[in-house]
Chain A
Amino acid sequence: MDCREFHESHLAFVDDTLAGVELVRMQMHLNECDACSRHDATIRRSLMLFRNLPRIEPSADFSKKLEMKLREVKLAEAAGNHRSNFGFKAGVTIASAVMLAYIGISLRQVDTPQDIVLPPVVATATTSEISTGGPGPEMIAAAPAGIPIWTAALFAEQTPSHFASIQLVSSTR
């Protein structure tokens, strides 16, 4: 063991918390090294001086003073509890009143008839697909070409019919 190691473990050495092997190594170093031995002795002696300092006792009126202070604390706490109880009761009363008022207003609103507002209906249709209801292009083309009317009407029946697609648009959009 070298001196650095001795100093590092000295705290535990003084407090007697070293493991057996370590303790023996420390003691062996103490026997070999004068400087570390002196350091150890100085630390132990100074600690002994400190530990032997006289202990002071509380003054004679310590208990009386503390009792008075505690009485004040108890009174303050009792007053605080009273105040907080009063505050709690007031809070409950106010909350009840608010709740009753809200229920009353809600009931009145239920009794009075109201206009139902529905979302507007919007119809959209693509112009290209809207059927005009008049003669189709086949019929128009057939007339000057001399095709008899009944065949043109037949053609017209076969053409697909398109209606305006209706879409409901919500008012919220």
Chain B
Amino acid sequence: MAIIARKQAVQQGANVREQLRQMDDSGVVTAFLGGEERAFSELVDRYQTRLLNFIYRTIGDREKAEDLVQEVFIRVYRHLHRFDRSKKFSTWAYTIASNLAKNELRNRSRNPLVLFQTVQKNWQEDDRPLQFEDSTSRPDDMYRKRHLREIVEESVAKLPEHHRNVFILRELEGKSYEEIAEITDCNLGTVKSRLNRARNSFAEIVAPYMD
């Protein structure tokens, strides 16, 4: 009897998760505010990788980026009831992430012992994402690709913080100008100008290594 009840509960749980998966963000948020705790896990599943990449590319420290993503979710959990549901959840989540990343960079600039490049160079080999490389390539090709990837990462790091932020939101996360303006609390003109400058600067830094 107990086993049947447990099986039914598990089945019911799976159904709820499946229903949540079908919903858009707004529906999931509504479900969570209506007392469905599993809806929060759905939000985490949807955004953890995206937010991690966004913060990681902004601050350049994987471990710290994970901590900050966790902080984003904790803030979301605590303040979701105050979230203006006429707006997009993703914009709100990215705004929190952007502010946390900005604070982290500010704190780091006060403590110059930790630098972006230093953090990246201190990676263990295992931590390095290898997808940029093709295992079927010849060793010199692999070296060239890895070298190029490092150069690209360093070039992003060289961009001024407010340019980098806009650049990552647009090029990596595919956000619209309007969304970026909301996330970074800038007007549309500033976003376009920063993005244009960031693209030009980035291309200028990377260009010598591309040929």
Interface residue B94 (Cβ < 8 Å from any Cβ of A): no
Interface-located stretch among A23-31, A39-47, A96-104, A162-170? A39-47
State in angstroms the CA–CA spacing of A10 and B196 once bound together.
8
Interface residue A108 (Cβ < 8 Å from any Cβ of B): no
State in angstroms the CA–CA spacing of A45 and B73 once bound together.
35
Partner of A58, one of B48, B129, B202: B48
Partner of B206, one of A14, A46, A63: A46
- Flag if B70 contacts A65 (CB, 8 Å): yes
Interface residue B106 (Cβ < 8 Å from any Cβ of A): no
Partner of B156, one of A14, A50, A59, A77: A50
A54 and B207 contact, Cβ closer than 8 Å, known pairs A10-B196, A11-B199: no
State in angstroms the CA–CA spacing of A47 and B74 once bound together.
33
Residues in B neighbouring A63, C-beta threshold 8 A: 44
Residues in B neighbouring A11, C-beta threshold 8 A: 192, 195-196, 199
- Flag if A66 contacts B199 (CB, 8 Å): no
State in angstroms the CA–CA spacing of A57 and B49 once bound together.
6
Nearest to B170 among chain A residues (CB) is A15
Interface residue B203 (Cβ < 8 Å from any Cβ of A): yes
A73 and B206 contact, Cβ closer than 8 Å, known pairs A49-B148, A51-B171, A56-B129: no
- Flag if B207 contacts A42 (CB, 8 Å): yes
State in angstroms the CA–CA spacing of A13 and B132 once bound together.
28
State how many angstroms separate the Cβ of B69 from the closest Cβ of chain A. 7
Nearest to A10 among chain B residues (CB) is B196
- Flag if A62 contacts B66 (CB, 8 Å): yes
Nearest to B67 among chain A residues (CB) is A65
State how many angstroms separate the Cβ of B94 from the closest Cβ of chain A. 16
State in angstroms the CA–CA spacing of A141 and B152 once bound together.
126
Interface residue A55 (Cβ < 8 Å from any Cβ of B): yes
Residues in B neighbouring A47, C-beta threshold 8 A: 171, 199, 202-203
State how many angstroms separate the Cβ of B82 from the closest Cβ of chain A. 14
State in angstroms the CA–CA spacing of A37 and B172 once bound together.
24
A50 and B171 contact, Cβ closer than 8 Å, known pairs A42-B210, A58-B48: yes
- Flag if B132 contacts A52 (CB, 8 Å): yes
- Flag if B78 contacts A73 (CB, 8 Å): yes
Residues in B neighbouring A73, C-beta threshold 8 A: 74, 77-78
State in angstroms the CA–CA spacing of A10 and B200 once bound together.
10
Residues in A neighbouring B203, C-beta threshold 8 A: 42-43, 45-47
Interface residues of A in 52-91 (CB under 8 A from B): 52-59, 62-63, 65-66, 69-70, 73, 77
State in angstroms the CA–CA spacing of A50 and B171 once bound together.
8
Residues in B neighbouring A57, C-beta threshold 8 A: 49, 52
Residues in A neighbouring B171, C-beta threshold 8 A: 47, 50-51
State how many angstroms separate the Cβ of B174 from the closest Cβ of chain A. 9
Residues in A neighbouring B66, C-beta threshold 8 A: 58-59, 62
Instruction: Provide 25 A-B residue pairs closer than 8 Å at the C-beta atoms, listed in order of the A residue.
Output: A14-B199, A42-B210, A43-B199, A43-B200, A46-B207, A47-B171, A47-B199, A50-B152, A50-B171, A51-B172, A53-B149, A53-B153, A54-B129, A54-B130, A55-B129, A56-B52, A56-B53, A56-B56, A56-B129, A57-B49, A58-B48, A58-B69, A66-B73, A70-B73, A70-B74
Nearest 10 interchain pairs by C-beta: A54-B131, A54-B129, A46-B203, A46-B206, A11-B196, A42-B203, A43-B203, A54-B132, A49-B152, A58-B48
Known A54-B131, A55-B131; further 17 A-B contacts with Cβ < 8 A: A11-B195, A42-B207, A43-B203, A46-B202, A46-B210, A53-B149, A54-B149, A55-B129, A56-B53, A56-B62, A58-B66, A59-B66, A62-B48, A62-B66, A66-B44, A69-B74, A70-B74
